[in-house]
Amino acid sequence: TRFGEAGEWAAKIEQVTGNNAITSLPEAEPLGPSKRLDLLLIAPCTGNTLSRLANAATDSPVLMAAKATLRNDRPVVIAVSTNDGLGLNLHNIATLLNTKNIFFVPFGQDAPHVKMNSLVALMSRIPETCEAALEKRQLQPMVIERWQEDRL
């Protein structure tokens, strides 16, 4: 994808964290009982992942990790990136906004005149969103005008 290959990202994350990537459901399941995570970041969070999370599907390592994190009363931070955020996925975003311990990285339309339904998080705001989420606080403003990213 335009974000890079999954293997490249996994290798970078493993290098930075010193931990192995969790790539299967059996590897993700122990996250619940072990309470290893203080916070889970899903970035980028696609429309497909939004839909599955909002509807309680746990059919991937990311979703299993999210379920375990929420079960442990810990924050899940979502950095949305979907071409359908203002379409059918708006319902899923609304559901997740009303879910305890789910926090959003501030997001907005990335190209409103070309992709009217597209929403993208300001990835540069991930660190401060995570800090706020650890305090059980949603960073504000949450919905922004994408073209103003450089001024925020």
Q: What is the pLDDT of residue 148?
A: 55
Supply the angle between the helices 61-71 and 47-54 in degrees, to the nearest 10: 40
Whole-number pLDDT of residue 4: 80
Cross-strand pairs, 90: none
Digit-by-digit pLDDT tens for the chain (152 residues) are 666 888 888 899 899 989 888 889 999 989 988 888 999 999 999 999 999 999 999 999 999 999 999 999 999 999 999 998 888 899 999 999 999 999 999 999 988 888 888 899 999 999 999 999 999 999 999 999 865 554 44
The superfamily (CATH) of domain 39-146 is Flavin prenyltransferase-like (3.40.50.1950)
Taking the model in full, what pTM does it have? 0.89
The C-alpha torsion from 81 through 84 and 86 to 92, rounded to 10°, is -80
Domain ranges of the chain: 39-146
With vertex at residue 4, the alpha carbon angle to CA 30 and CA 149, rounded to the nearest 5 degrees, is 95
Residue type, 51: S
Burial of residue 100 (CB within 10 Å: 0-12, 13-18, 19+) is exposed
How are beta strands 107-108 and 102-104 bridged, if at all? unpaired
pLDDT score for 113: 82
